[in-house]
Chain A
C-alpha cells in the first residue's frame, strides 16, 4: 500500500515538473505576501498596546522618582543649593529610578528637612528645591496612614486605600465566590438540560449590566435596603460596595467555573456513578476536586475584576479613606481614588503623579493575577487531565 502511494506521488510530481511547472509552481504573489505582512503586523500591535499601556501609565509617575536627587542634595548641603539643584530638570528616568530603589532610608530624613526649606519665603531657587523635596516627601508619606492629598502638608498614605480595597474585595469574593461556584455546580451537574440552556445565558446577562448601572442600583436600592436590614449608621460603606461588586464578579467566576467543571472528562463521572456514588457525591467529591485549578483561576480573575472596579466603588463605598477593619465603615478604594481625583488635579504635580503610581500598581497587580491564572493553573489542569 505504502509503496504504491509513493509511486503515485512521484508520478504526480514528475508530471507536474513535466508539463505544467510554470503554472503549478508556487509563485511569488505580491498581494498575498503583503496581506500576510499587514495581518501579522496588526496582530503584533496588541502586544505593543499592552507595553504602551504600561509605559505610559508608568511614565507619568516618573516625576516622583525624578526629584529625589535634588531633595537629597538639599539635605546634604542646605546652604549651597541653588544652581546644582536646578540642574536635574533633565529627563533621566533610569538613574533616578535606581536611586529611588537603592536608598529608601533617606526618605525619612527628607521629611525632617522639608519644613526648614519651606519656611524661607520669596526665594525662587529654594522654592524650586521645595517642589523637589515635596516629591521626596510624597514618597515618604506613601506608607503613612493618611490620605490627605489636598491640604497644606499633603500626605499620600496608600495604606488606608490598600486596606479599603482589600476589605471590599474580601467581602465581594466571600459573597460572589460561593454563590457563583455553587450555581456553576448546579448548572454543570444537576440541572436538567432545558433549564441549563436557560440558566447559562441568563446569568451571563448579568455581565451585560454596565458597572455604572450596578453602582446606581447599589446607591439607590441596596444601600437603603441593607441599612434597614442591619441597622448600621453610614449608608454607603464597604459592605454595600462589596455586595454590589459581587454582582459584577459573579458572572466572571460563574462562567469560568462552569467551563472548568464541564471540561472534566465524562469518564470520571461515569466511573464514579458506576461505583455506586450518588450524583451529589460525584459532583462534590469527584468533579469539584478535579476542577479545582480551574476554579482557582476563576476566583483569581474575579478578584482582579473587583480589585479594579471603579464605578461601583465610586458610587457605593462612601469614599472616605479610613483605617478601620469594620466592614460597615466607609472606604475609599485605589481605583475610586483615581476616578474621583484625577479630574481635579493639576496636570504634572505630585498628586497627579501619585494617582498614576496607584494606576501602575493596579496594572501590575491585575497583570500578575492574570499571568498566574493563565500559566500556573492552566498547566496544572492540563497535567491533571493527562493523568500525570
Chain B
C-alpha cells in the first residue's frame, strides 16, 4: 500500500511537468498512461535496489562486529569471522590491480594519443576491448585454467621443478591474473575517457615549447588524467572483489587454516565464501546470519568503491563540458 502511494506521488510529479510544456496542452488518457508507465518502471527498479539493500542490511547488521571481521571461522564455519576471506580478497585485488592498471592505462594512452581514429589497428583493439568486456566471466575462469594453470604453470613446473606440482595448480597468482584480464576493459575505458578531457591546447602548448610527444604524454597528459586512472582502478577493484566465476577453479578455496603466504597458495574470497555457504552448507539455519553478514561486508566494500568512482567520474564529465 505504501508502495502504491509512493508511486502515484512520483508519477504525478513527472506528469505535472508536462503541464509546463506548451506542446503538451491537450493531454489524453493515453499520454498520462504511457508516461506513468515509464515512471513506474523507474520506480520499480529503484524499489528493487532499495529492497535489496535493506534486506541484506537488516539481515547482516546485527552480526557485523569487529570480531566477525578479525577472526577466523570456527566450528565448521558456524561461528567466528571471515578474516581470511577479507585478506584473500584484498591480496587478490591488489595483485590484480598491479597487473591490470598499468596495462590498461598504456592501452588507453595508445588509443587516445597515438592511434588515429581510422587506423585498422586501433579499430581492432577497440573491438577486442569490447569483446573482453562482454565475454562471460566463466569463460575467463576456463581460460585461466587452460592457459595459466595447465599451460604456463605446467611448463614452468616441468622446467624448474622437475614436474613437481607448484604452479600447475590453482593459486592466488593465476586467479589474480585471470581477474586482471576481466577488469582490463574497465580500466581502459575510464582512462581513455579522462585522457580525452585534457584540452588540446595544453598539449599543443607543451609541444610548442619543444617537448617531444612522449615528454608531453608523461608530463602533461598523464598528470591531467590522474583522476581517470584512479576511477578506473577503483571500478576495477570493485568489480574484481565481487566476481566469483573466474576464480571458481583458478584459486579460491572453501576453507584454509592459514592466510596465503606465497604466490602459489590458494586463498579464501568473500564472494566464493558466500556462494559456498549459501549453496553447500549443511547447516543453513546456523550459518544464515554469517551468510547475510558476509554478503553485507562484500556489498559495503563494492558499493562504497563504486560510489567513489561514480562521484569521480561525475567530476571528470563536468570538467569535459
Contact = CB atoms under 8 A, between A and B. Distances in A.
Interface stretch (A118-126, A138-146, A335-343): A335-343
Interface stretch (A66-74, A78-86, A151-159, A271-279): A271-279
Interface in A4-46: 29, 31-32, 35-36, 38-40, 42-46
A362 B135 CA distance: 8
A60 B146 contact: yes
B150 A183 contact: no
Given A208-B306, A273-B23, A356 B55 contact: no
A273 B181 CA distance: 47
A221 interface: yes
A7 B165 CA distance: 75
Interface string A199-239: 10111111011111111110111000000000000000000
Nearest to B18: A279
Interface stretch (B27-35, B65-73, B80-88, B225-233): B27-35
Interface in A167-225: 178-180, 182-183, 185-187, 189-192, 195, 199, 201-206, 208-217, 219-221
Given A279-B23, A304-B134, A182 B38 contact: yes
Given A47-B124, A49-B132, A56 B151 contact: yes
Contacts of B40: 182
* Residue with the highest number of chain A CB atoms closer than 10 Å, among B109, B248, B302: B248
Given A43-B111, A53-B139, A279-B18, A370 B39 contact: no
B34 A280 contact: yes
Interface residues of A, number: 95
Contact of B41 (A183, A204, A212, A276): A183
A216 B244 contact: no
Contacts of B249: 342-343
Contacts of B274: 212-213, 216
Given A199-B42, A284-B34, A40 B110 contact: yes
Interface size class of B (residues with CB under 8 A): 35 or more
Nearest to B168: A347
A280 B147 contact: no
Contacts of A52: 143, 147
B48 to A, nearest CB: 6
A214 to B, nearest CB: 8
Nearest to A275: B23
Given A57-B139, A57-B146, A208-B303, A217 B55 contact: yes
Top 5 nearest A-B pairs (CB, nearest first) are A308-B136, A210-B242, A43-B110, A186-B38, A208-B306
Interface of A: 29, 31-32, 35-36, 38-40, 42-47, 49-50, 52-53, 56-57, 59-60, 178-180, 182-183, 185-187, 189-192, 195, 199, 201-206, 208-217, 219-221, 247, 250, 254, 273-274, 276-282, 284, 301, 304-305, 307-311, 314-315, 335, 338-339, 342-343, 347, 355-356, 359, 362-363, 366-367, 369-371, 374
Given A43-B110, A210-B299, A220-B292, 14 more contacts: A39-B110, A56-B147, A57-B142, A182-B37, A182-B41, A186-B38, A186-B41, A186-B42, A205-B307, A247-B48, A273-B21, A281-B31, A343-B248, A374-B127
22 contacts: A38-B106, A42-B107, A44-B121, A46-B107, A46-B129, A53-B147, A183-B38, A183-B41, A205-B306, A205-B307, A210-B298, A215-B275, A216-B291, A254-B45, A277-B23, A280-B31, A280-B34, A310-B138, A339-B138, A342-B141, A356-B142, A371-B127
